[in-house]
């Protein structure tokens, strides 16, 4: 269970009403996290919204609740997108982006929702935003190229697909070679069919193993989670988010050295991946490398000066030092 440090958690000298208020906030936070970990995202959203509506926006409690509110909306949006409920998925992903606008995966998934809705220009915009945040986001680049191809910008589209293949060699298989050959002979429909088949095959496999890995992780079966995340990464090693989850599984399995390798790889893909950098700090702490851990948290605060978790962890390390 995650810990929430609220101002006034020590009731000594405080009024009874203040103590009661703090306890109530902690209860809503604990319930929100419990619901979140169980995959009950709508219930988690309700709990985090109570905190946000109760405390001042500058309060650390509000900022922490907003972060998890964004995560809950993101997960709910992905679930709805998977079921084809594109209108509801768009709303949830938009709310998640309003809270965490620098997460490229959120923009990627919103782009896919827009494709479901046939709103291609909006999809292009979201793919481009994802790539601005992470230029080596191979999956987003591939699907943007495929979308450009579908929209009639065939040379630009195939150029983007080829750049994605350069970043992610896992795309360089028989389907890609067949698509390239069809493009060169100006068989546009065949080219698009091969690209769609390639994209769907990879995304389905990755999503399945990624989702299964997270389920195993939440149930505490960390070895099974590690296996699933590794299978997802064998298809697409360039996913920073999956690298981060694999690191978390290694960390939970008491293998901090392996965890640190995965967090570092995630940060190579996306240097602004705040969660991965915080988790790297936790791995360094487990390895008793306190200065390196402190550097991780300081870097997070350079990127996001209001990050409560990094500030609290840095303060804890300073007390230990």
pLDDT tens column, 92-125:
999 999 988 888 889 999 999 999 999 999 999 9
Mean pLDDT (the chain) is 86
Fold of the domain spanning 239-321: 1.25.40
Inform me whether the pLDDT recorded for 18 exceeds 60: no
Domain 102-236 has CATH 1.25.40.10: yes
Q: Check: pTM over 0.85? Answer yes or no.
A: no
What one-character DSSP code corresponds to residue 170? G
Cα–Cα separations (whole angstroms), residue 57 to 62, 121, 152, 241, 319: 6, 34, 47, 28, 28
> What pLDDT sits at residue 21?
58
Indicate whether 161 pLDDT > 90: yes
Which carries the bigger pLDDT value, residue 210 or residue 88?
A: 88
**Of 4-8, 293-297, 300-304, highest mean pLDDT:** 293-297
| Residue range 158-172: mean pLDDT, rounded | 85
DSSP string, 129-147: HHHHH-TT-HHHHHHHHHH
- pLDDT, tens only, 41-64: 999 999 999 988 888 878 777 888
pLDDT digits (tens, 9 = 90+) for 190-199: 999 999 888 8
**What are the start and end residues of each CATH 1.25.40.10 domain in the chain?**
102-236, 239-321
pLDDT digits (tens, 9 = 90+) for 259-283: 999 999 999 988 889 999 999 999 9
Q: Which of 129, 130, 148 is nearest to 139 (CA)?
A: 130
């Amino acid at each position: 269970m995650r810990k929430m440090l609220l101002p006034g958690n020590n009731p000594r000298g405080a009024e009874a009403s203040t103590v009661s208020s703090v306890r109530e906030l902690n209860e809503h936070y604990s319930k929100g996290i419990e619901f979140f970990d169980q995959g009950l995202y709508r219930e988690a959203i309700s709990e985090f919204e109570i905190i946000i509506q109760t405390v001042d926006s500058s309060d650390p409690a509000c900022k922490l609740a907003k972060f998890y509110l964004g995560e809950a909306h993101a997960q709910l949006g992905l679930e709805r997108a998977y079921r084809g409920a594109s209108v509801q998925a768009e709303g949830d992903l938009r709310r998640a982006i309003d809270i965490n606008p620098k997460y490229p995966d959120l923009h990627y998934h919103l782009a896919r929702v827009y494709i479901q809705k046939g709103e291609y220009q909006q999809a292009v915009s979201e793919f481009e935003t994802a790539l601005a945040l992470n230029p080596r986001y191979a999956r987003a680049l591939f699907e943007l190229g495929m979308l450009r191809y579908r929209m009639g910008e065939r040379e630009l589209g195939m150029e983007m697909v080829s750049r994605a293949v350069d970043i992610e060699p896992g795309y360089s298989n028989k389907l890609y070679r067949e698509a390239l050959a069809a493009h060169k002979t100006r068989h546009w429909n065949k080219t698009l069919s091969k690209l769609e088949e390639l994209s769907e095959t990879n995304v389905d496999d990755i999503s399945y193993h990624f989702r299964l890995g997270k389920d195993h992780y939440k149930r505490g079966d960390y070895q099974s989670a590690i296996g699933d995340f590794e299978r997802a990464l064998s298809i697409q090693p360039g996913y920073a988010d999956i690298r981060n989850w694999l690191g978390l599984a290694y960390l939970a399995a008491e293998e901090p050295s392996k965890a640190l390798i995965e967090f570092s790889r995630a940060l190579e893909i996306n240097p602004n991946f705040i969660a991965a950098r915080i988790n790297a700090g936790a791995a360094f702490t487990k390895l008793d490398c306190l200065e390196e851990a402190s550097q991780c948290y300081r870097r997070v605060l350079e990127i996001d000066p209001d990050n409560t978790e990094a500030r609290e962890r840095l303060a804890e390390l300073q007390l230990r030092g």
